[in-house]
Chain A
Amino acid sequence: MPAIFPRWTNKIPLAIAVLGPLVGAGVIFGVWYYWSPEFTDVGYRPEQPVSFSHKLHAGDMGLDCRYCHNTVEVAAKAAIPPTQTCMNCHSLVKTDSPKLKKVRDSYESGKPIPWVRVHQLPDYAFFDHRPHLAAGVGCSTCHGRIDQMTVVQMDQPLSMGWCLDCHRDPDNNLRPLDRITDMNWDPHSEEALAYNPNEDPERKRKVVPPEHCSGCHR
């Protein structure tokens, strides 16, 4: 009687034993590396209708973040400024620049400039800027060195694990309350390492970030 299985099938168990773990490790690596928001989200830099440079305005000229994003201390969202905020200066400076044509048109017609949103959390995560600023989380901690970006891009993954990293260890990520918009704040500087939010007399409340589900998912 001839053999039912050809001779090469003897190698199948060996192949499974060797390739199986390799493929498994590859899949795990792939998911860990490529499905992470570090890969899918960080570096997102959409093209905006007006090529506004944060490097020029916030970096070189040193405008405070809150000059434009003025709701950030009192509302959940750091609002995109209305066109009038641009025109505060640009009705007097660079008034005939072709790059600013859309801004002037928007101001005259009253129709908003269709800015493209860069940072967007899932709709089930209820992030609120207000308590984060009140606790002394600086702009650059989550948004990176905006003052060095000609085109704004996502700097941090804004994933749940990333949020929890800080909620579980807030002290190393907080700064004095009057340095929130300071883009030059270096979390590794001596000043930052010496700063202890729990001993800051300027603070009226103890820092207790929530770690329970309903802290962010209502």
Chain B
Amino acid sequence: MRTSLKPTQLFAAACLAAGVLASGCQGNRSEAPPVHIWHNMDFQNKLDPQEEYDFFFAIDCPEEAAKIAELKAKAVAHGHNPDHLPLPEKTCRGRAMRNAPAGTVARGHLKNDDHLYKGRGPDGRLVDELPKGIVLSEELLNRGEERYNIYCQPCHDYAGTGQGIATRRGGGFAVQPANFHEDKFRAMPLGHFYDVIVNGKGTMLPYAAQIVSVEDRWAIAAWVRTLQQSRTTVAMGGK
């Protein structure tokens, strides 16, 4: 028996198929944010690190806030409701995370040990030994090697010759990174490498924000010294 679909049935089937196809397959790429079918408490009235927060707009974006205030003042002067004003799109956002107020120190963050935190002795000169509490050990050097390979190797390369991958891509660096095996760096005290990590030097920006732990910075300094030693020829004295 031959059957043929009526136009209405055909239409219904086409709608169904279109609906299914339009909703795509699992894993399809999309630039639209994920759909939350049940919101439940997915989005709560709290702030995550690094989120934006309009409450601090006036503090974080003083210029834009001043512009908006000016527009609103004009609207009021012309007898318009300032809340119904079409405002320009914000290019700057307030931040949820706040800096500590100027001149304050968080508990436990008073960095008054110059040797540990600045690599300098009481006379203000760079020190040539590890601070108290950081012991030269296999673990320290392993840690130093690991951290060096994460943060320093991209420019200074694994061996410390200043020819890392970043210096060989995209046209290269205008100024080459330091080669630790040059005599002037071999003569530097250990504190010098700590100081450069924290404050940067020349075209190198400070890494204090990336290598937060002081122990890690000293471990890297010790590893730099190890790299230098690895290329030192030691005369074997015979008896």
Contacts and interface: CB of A to CB of B under 8 A. Distances in A.
A74 to B, nearest CB: 8
Contact of A123 (B33, B43, B146, B207): B43
A66 interface: yes
A61 B207 CA distance: 20
B92 A67 contact: no
Given A67-B154, A89-B166, A93-B169, A122 B29 contact: no
B149 interface: yes
A175 to B, nearest CB: 16
Nearest to A61: B165
A79 B49 contact: yes
Given A61-B165, A63-B154, A43 B27 contact: yes
A123 B34 contact: no
A6 to B, nearest CB: 19
Contacts of A87: 205
A37 B154 CA distance: 37
A147 interface: no
Nearest to B172: A93
Interface string B6-25: 00000000000000000111
B43 A67 contact: no
Interface residues of B, number: 55
B44 A44 contact: no
Given A37-B34, A91-B203, A122-B41, A42 B171 contact: no
B26 A33 contact: yes
Contacts of B173: 92-93
Interface string A150-169: 00011000000000000000
A111 B61 contact: yes
6 contacts: A34-B23, A37-B34, A39-B25, A45-B30, A76-B49, A92-B175
